Structure 1
Amino acid sequence: MAGTFTYNFDTSTFKVFSLAANGLIQSDMRRLTTGKVITAITTGSSKDVDIAADVAKAAYKASWGLKISGTERGKLLYKLADLLERDADEFAALESLNVGKVFASAKAGDVQMTIDVFRYYAGWADKVQGKTIETNENKLAYTRHEPYGVGQIIPWNVPLLMLALKFGPALATGNTIVLKPSEITPLTALRFADLIIEAGFPPGVVNIVNGYGSTVGQAITEHPLISKIAFTGSTLVGRKILKASSESNLKVVSLELGGKSPTIIFDDAYLDQAIRWASIGIYLLNGFSGQACTAGSRIFVQEGIYDEFLAKFTVATKNLAAATGDPFAVGTQHGPQISKVQFDRIMSYIESGKKDGATVHTGGARHGTEGYFIQPTIFTNAKPEMEIVQEEIFGPVGLSSKVIEAGNDTAYGLACHIFSQNISRALRVAHSLEAGTAWLNCSQSVDKAVPFGGYKQSGIGRELGEYALDT
């Protein structure tokens, strides 16, 4: 699919034209600050997936895969990054509409990292090499890397960056792609299709099919022409994808799933620094509203500094609440949730915490009277068995405890955040936690060259870095 876009933020109007060969249903896109419909997107069907898979296979055989050198693939990826850099303002605006993230942060963060990811994998495109293996004087053994043909399903929370994390290594290594963006945040993916064409990728190498998980997502997962699935989303859906992939053609599967990450603050930490990073870790400042799988939403504070930490963290949280508003407004740091469904889900977790006996220290209610805004919230007196401690909330809700409890006491193992001046202790704790990524004295410091992924029910495989080329 490709689209033609016009938008006027002064009058809050937005129009998009999209095509689906067999789409019958339109999905409403809403302005998250008001809840009002701003446009409708046609959704695809399983027949569209059939068409996309056939086209992708034909392109793989005719003009991609092993038919094009790594050097040429790298040039195309560099061109793609240049085009995105040229259109950075437009994509930041679309991402802000898509997700509700602060415009300036979307441009400096999401769009810039997307550019960086494509340039990083452009550099790798001609460096994916096999090995020769000595056996005996009469035999020669060697290995080489061959593309799969990949189906990709990305989530709604960081749609543009997730597209890059999936596209970058797949295109660098010669795969053709069938991608499904989230049905509630397809705008940047649909617009990105235009850049794919402008960059000069052969027709059929990249195919974007908008639609619902129950139709388009399932069709991609089960399709016999697709040999690999890369999925980012919930653990519940990840299980379904594993099952469907095994029952179809035993697809290779990589999954980046949920998290319930601990933030552990020792009494020798630089407290103001820890508070700043803890705020970033859970609320994800600049309008992201806690909607990240790595959110450090379980905060464990050493006894001697608990009261001081809580007092200062409360001030930081209230300051953030005061900066809640329209993502396009100057000064906004905290934006809306992604949808009415997500808004209701987060509010239900807050009510569950209250019912289970946790104390709402600050926040705990909606912000304003329209849109999908929720006050940044702190729970205290939270117990390990409570739903708010065990489940991924995906919203601006943090927990604080007077003791360092077991950071591993959850089904997830995506990340952890540790604050201490004693680097030996911090490393020992990091090594003992079941977490794919450990951040020491910082949070959410994702880098294009550093592998990312989880333990336990947080996923299978790694994204970013050299590791993603083999996932």
Structure 2
Amino acid sequence: MMTHVVSKETVFARAAAGSLFAGNLIAGASSDGTVDNTTPIDNSVIGKIGDAVAADVDIAVAAARRCFENGEWRQLAPAERKQIMLAWTELMTRHAEELAALDCIDAGKPITECLNTDLPATLETFRWYAEAADKVFGKTAPAGNAWSWIVKEPIGVVAAVLPWNFPAQMFAWKVAPALIAGNSVIVKPAELTSLSAYRMIELAHQAGVPAAALQMVCGRGETVGAAIGRHMDIDMVSFTGSTEVGRLFLTYAAQSNLKEIVLECGGKSPQIVFEDAVLDEAAVGNILSAAFWNMGENCSCGSRLLVHRSRKDELAEKLKAGLSGWRLGDPREEGVALGPMIEQAHFDKVAAYLQTAEQQGAQRIIGNGVRTDLGGWYIEPTVFDNVRPDSSLFQEEVFGPVLALTVFDSEEEAVALANNSVYGLAASFYTQDVKRVLRVASALQAGTVSVNGFSEGDITTPFGGYKQSGFGGRDKGLEALEQYCQTKTVWVCE
């Protein structure tokens, strides 16, 4: 099981040589088409990625179904699956620097974040679900003279369709609970970020996960994603990404076998600063992190800052001072906090919002917007003041480092502004009033609400949204493990 450990410098050198590769990992013969893989850091070619076709999905699904039916993975005792998962986690721990570097070069994520945040959270997720494997029990019902019990069973063949913004971490959120529950899992990574998923699955097979129990199909959404959504023998799709694509998966399910669909989609999360908020260094740091962490390419990004009128000027000055320590640049360099946008198309979209915001009457008070001197798709963290609730910047998900500031005069107005969105993924607010904490936390329409800080919870707490931010289940927590199972009642008559 020992494998050669690769340093981040080696990964970056291989990227410079154009030799990084991620392709299909299918338990059977598959096509070998590839396309160039470029990095958003400087738009250079760093290697090749697989470009699968619908027939490859068929091959992977057939292998996954055989594996599920013959019990090669499903019928292992939970304690056995746990030991294999823990062995896999130890392998990934040894290769954590390599995995972090792959996400850095592939997605343009700062290496510091990948090493210190993303990979530790990824490994924690795998360990936590491995330990949960043999600690989830069924139950019985009071049935009088009959015997009855309710059990959880794996749902079957699960497809995990991943986003590009947190490649390794979102892989863990979906694959760990789905696999430990006994399902056969097919991973479809984002075509922009396939490298870490490919490497993690290679390590999984080395650790003892059967090849057919965990497979990967690389490719474009319009081919591979659509084939997964319409496939008659996939039992469930777990998707994280845009609301637009989430709608497509619902359509695909309706057109095929009514497979279960779990969606974690867009967000337009509010941050509320009440008049009694303590705006110390920690609070300001949390507000900035909510807005600009991961370049704002985060579904739970706190992109709407609702501030009591009496605190606006003070907060604006503190934000400007706080952002002075956020370095924008090459994400391979230690200490860089902000890298590029993921690709030119997304860069162009975010840049267009900067122009539209000003056309709709908002005033830029922090940031210079687009940076053309860094060789890639870079945008400075930017704050707009006087953002109207009916404007594009207030209502639409930008998915970039752009913060919309709007004032309010009362608690009721703040809550109304916060809920004035088709999304409901997350929200945060700052206050010292305990009674207000109870009122506002209850009134906010969001799946995760944090008080006096920015948080998505931890691995023990479920994560998902209200309204058009998604439905069908939750990532993280035991709730995620349960969503990859189906419930069976066994009733034994007298």
Question: Aligned match of 1:466 in 471, 478, 487?
Answer: 478
The answer as to whether partners of 1:7 and 1:14 remain within 8 angstroms in 2 is no
Q: Report what 1:144 is aligned to.
A: 151
Q: 1:13-412 counterparts in 2 under 5 A?
A: 13-20=17-24, 22-23=30-31, 25-64=33-72, 66-137=74-145, 139-148=146-155, 149-272=157-280, 273-284=282-293, 288-320=294-326, 323-369=327-373, 370-403=375-408, 404=414, 406-412=417-423
The superposition leaves residues 270-300 of structure 1 with CA deviations (integer Å, 9 ceiling, x where unpaired) of 102321111000001xxx2111000001001
Residue 318 (structure 1) shift: 4.0
The superposition leaves residues 441-469 of structure 1 with CA deviations (integer Å, 9 ceiling, x where unpaired) of 11134311111000000011211001111
- AA paired with 1:342? H
- Equivalents in 1 of 2:22, 2:478: separation in Å? 35
Gap change, CA 1:443 and 1:93, over 3 Å in 2:
same
Please provide the CA RMSD for this pair. 1.8
Residue 98 (structure 1) shift: 1.6
- Equivalents in 2 of 1:221, 1:466: separation in Å? 25
The answer as to whether partners of 1:414 and 1:437 remain within 8 angstroms in 2 is yes
Q: Report what 2:444 is aligned to.
A: 433
Gap change, CA 1:23 and 1:450, over 3 Å in 2:
same
- Equivalents in 2 of 1:37, 1:253: separation in Å? 35
> Are 2:426 and 1:415 aligned?
yes
Task: Look up the SS of the partner of 2:371 in the other structure.
Answer: coil
- Equivalents in 1 of 2:141, 2:311: separation in Å? 57
Q: Report what 2:411 is aligned to.
A: none
The answer as to whether partners of 1:64 and 1:174 remain within 8 angstroms in 2 is no
Task: Look up the SS of the partner of 1:401 in the other structure.
Answer: strand
The answer as to whether partners of 1:265 and 1:274 remain within 8 angstroms in 2 is no
- Equivalents in 2 of 1:25, 1:175: separation in Å? 28
The answer as to whether partners of 2:39 and 2:107 remain within 8 angstroms in 1 is no
The answer as to whether partners of 2:267 and 2:299 remain within 8 angstroms in 1 is yes
- AA paired with 1:392? E
Residue 183 (structure 1) shift: 0.2
Residue 187 (structure 1) shift: 0.5
Task: Look up the SS of the partner of 2:86 in the other structure.
Answer: helix
- Equivalents in 2 of 1:344, 1:28: separation in Å? 21
- AA paired with 2:36? D
Gap change, CA 1:13 and 1:339, over 3 Å in 2:
same
Structure 2, unpaired ranges of 5+: 409-413, 484-494
- Equivalents in 2 of 1:314, 1:341: separation in Å? 28
- Equivalents in 1 of 2:142, 2:407: separation in Å? 59
- Equivalents in 2 of 1:248, 1:114: separation in Å? 33
Gap change, CA 1:465 and 1:18, over 3 Å in 2:
closer
The answer as to whether partners of 2:15 and 2:105 remain within 8 angstroms in 1 is no
- Equivalents in 2 of 1:18, 1:377: separation in Å? 35
- AA paired with 1:254? V
Gap change, CA 1:23 and 1:340, over 3 Å in 2:
farther
Residue 246 (structure 1) shift: 2.1
> Are 2:468 and 1:457 aligned?
yes
Aligned-residue sequence identity (percent) comes to: 36
- AA paired with 1:444? S
The superposition leaves residues 336-379 of structure 1 with CA deviations (integer Å, 9 ceiling, x where unpaired) of 11111111110011111111111111225212422011011001
Q: Report what 2:487 is aligned to.
A: none
Residue 24 (structure 1) shift: 6.5
The answer to which structure, 1 or 2, has the higher relative contact order (CA under 8 A, 6+ apart) is: 2
Larger deviation, residues 307-316 vs 361-370: 361-370
Gap change, CA 1:225 and 1:65, over 3 Å in 2:
farther
- AA paired with 1:128? V
- AA paired with 1:425? R
Gap change, CA 1:8 and 1:313, over 3 Å in 2:
closer
- AA paired with 1:278? I
Alignment TM-score, normalising by the size of structure 1: 0.94
- Equivalents in 2 of 1:330, 1:144: separation in Å? 49
Task: Look up the SS of the partner of 1:197 in the other structure.
Answer: helix
Task: Look up the SS of the partner of 2:152 in the other structure.
Answer: coil
- Equivalents in 2 of 1:336, 1:29: separation in Å? 16
- Equivalents in 2 of 1:428, 1:326: separation in Å? 44
The answer as to whether partners of 1:7 and 1:15 remain within 8 angstroms in 2 is no
